[in-house]
Amino acid sequence: MAHDSLIPLSVPHLGGNEWTYLKDCLDTGWVSSVGSYVDKFEKDLAEFTGARHGVATASGTAALHLALLVAGVKPGDLVITPSLTFIAPVNTIRYTGATPVFIDSEAAYTQMDPAQLSAFLDSECEAGPDGLRHKPTQRRVAAIMTVHLLGHPVAMEEICSLAQKYGLVVIEDATESLGARYKGAPLGQQSLLACFSFNGNKIITTGGGGMIQTHDASLAAKARYLATQAKDDPLEYIHHEVGFNYRMTNVQAALGCAQLEQLPQFIERRRAIAARYQQELQGIAGLRVVGEAPWAKSTYWLSTIVCEDSPFTETRQLMHFLQEHKIQSRPLWQPVHLSPAHKDNHVGGPCPVAERLYATALNLPSSSMLSETDLTRVITAVREFFKRP
């Protein structure tokens, strides 16, 4: 074992035209926040997902923040989001001065549960003069920020029909799930605004970066304006609003263009890895490998197992056991209603399913670079753990 190298959870896979496109940026001097690669990356990604407009940003977090702003979220509003998520979307809700409403997850695919969303809207909200109001706080409910977790889509139709019924805007945090499909369609099609991330651990990377997509030209223009310090006059430097420096650089976009060319292969490889986990771990008593819903095509950005009958400690023991075998694994995120950063400023909950998944689920190595030999090492180690007396 000692000679084995570390098997990481997920690492950048730079196997295409990255060098060529980066060199082009350096050779031409176009390295900063405008350039042909930015335009091309926006256009190519919009083509890939079927969106009309794309606005490249400095990060996925910046994309989410801008999406909330252009969707009209105001200080004092409430924005609905799952408790089980990486913290970024919740942080962006707080940046706007709004307060998050946490909805619990469903256990099968670990996504926000439309039944819980429906229950919240139905029992805790009422129609107000300027839209939906949360009865206990009398705050306006402004939007739903859904998060497609781990490469798997949420139940979009259910969520969108609830949004329509209650007059709410939907923003998709698709940062973990670029390339996933909902009922055959790429993510980002059914909402007002969808956001993507190209951080180093995502399925494609620009080092760091993000994208907002929308069918609405005026929202795209507004997002671009806010991302560019809300500059109204390029010569006189007149600004009518408080803007941000949230643009993507040409260097980042050059990487993005090269990465996007490889995305279909990356998805295929991650799906093949997930299929082996399904096949070779499914028989273990008490262990469940998270699959995909009949209506979903997951990218399996991160393959997930759930130690169904295990207490928190046993799941952590498995994580440490894998670590001893130089295999990286990771629990899902602490549900955000428990996070010290947000626990005193939110609405909603309890979220028992999210808490249970936090205690029992682990992500396994899922890199598109993962070799069959290393994949076998992971599978063997997990099996060995469950064979212990």
Ligand X SMILES: *Cc1c(COP(=O)(O)O)cnc(C)c1O
> Which residues contribute to the site for ligand X (CB under 6 A)?
59-61, 85-86, 88-89, 147, 173, 175-176, 197, 199, 210
The distance of closest approach from Cβ of residue 153 to ligand X in the complex, given in angstroms and rounded to an integer, is: 13
The distance of closest approach from Cβ of residue 154 to ligand X in the complex, given in angstroms and rounded to an integer, is: 12
Identity of the residue, 210 or 382, whose beta carbon is nearer to ligand X in the bound complex = 210
The residue number whose beta carbon is nearest to ligand X equals: 60
Identity of the residue, 48 or 333, whose beta carbon is nearer to ligand X in the bound complex = 333
Identity of the residue, 199 or 315, whose beta carbon is nearer to ligand X in the bound complex = 199
The distance of closest approach from Cβ of residue 321 to ligand X in the complex, given in angstroms and rounded to an integer, is: 26
Spatial distance between the Cα atoms of 84 and 121, rounded to a whole number of angstroms: 19
- In angstroms and rounded to an integer, the radius of gyration of the C-alpha atoms of the chain is 21
Kind and range of the H or E run holding 65: helix 60-70
The distance of closest approach from Cβ of residue 203 to ligand X in the complex, given in angstroms and rounded to an integer, is: 11
Identity of the residue, 188 or 210, whose beta carbon is nearer to ligand X in the bound complex = 210
Cβ neighbors of 150 (< 8 A, separation 6 or more) are 110, 176, 177, 290, 298, 300, 301, 302, 304, 363
The distance of closest approach from Cβ of residue 91 to ligand X in the complex, given in angstroms and rounded to an integer, is: 9
The residue whose two tokens read 């805790």 is 124
The distance of closest approach from Cβ of residue 92 to ligand X in the complex, given in angstroms and rounded to an integer, is: 8
- In Å, what is the CA distance from 105 to each residue of 102, 117, 148, 356? 10, 10, 12, 10
Burial of residue 215, with CB atoms counted within 10 A of its CB: 0-12 exposed, 13-18 middle, 19 or more buried:
middle
Identity of the residue, 147 or 381, whose beta carbon is nearer to ligand X in the bound complex = 147
The distance of closest approach from Cβ of residue 214 to ligand X in the complex, given in angstroms and rounded to an integer, is: 17
Nearest alpha carbon to residue 90 among 311, 324, 333, 269: 333
Nearest alpha carbon to residue 363 among 287, 301, 321, 293: 301
The distance of closest approach from Cβ of residue 60 to ligand X in the complex, given in angstroms and rounded to an integer, is: 3
Decide if 64 contacts 88 (C-beta within 8 A): yes
Identity of the residue, 204 or 273, whose beta carbon is nearer to ligand X in the bound complex = 204
Q: Which two tokens stand for residue 126?
A: 């009422």
Decide if 195 contacts 173 (C-beta within 8 A): yes
Q: Which two tokens stand for residue 142?
A: 């402004």
The distance of closest approach from Cβ of residue 298 to ligand X in the complex, given in angstroms and rounded to an integer, is: 15
Identity of the residue, 255 or 375, whose beta carbon is nearer to ligand X in the bound complex = 255
The three-class DSSP label of residue 289 is: strand
Q: Which two tokens stand for residue 334?
A: 């602490």
Q: How far is CA 238 from the centre of its chain?
A: 35
The distance of closest approach from Cβ of residue 89 to ligand X in the complex, given in angstroms and rounded to an integer, is: 5
Identity of the residue, 238 or 341, whose beta carbon is nearer to ligand X in the bound complex = 341
The three-class DSSP label of residue 220 is: helix
- In Å, what is the CA distance from 229 to each residue of 33, 88, 237, 322? 12, 22, 10, 47
Identity of the residue, 180 or 281, whose beta carbon is nearer to ligand X in the bound complex = 180
Nearest alpha carbon to residue 174 among 158, 192, 194: 194
Identity of the residue, 92 or 132, whose beta carbon is nearer to ligand X in the bound complex = 92
Strands 139-147 and 169-173: parallel
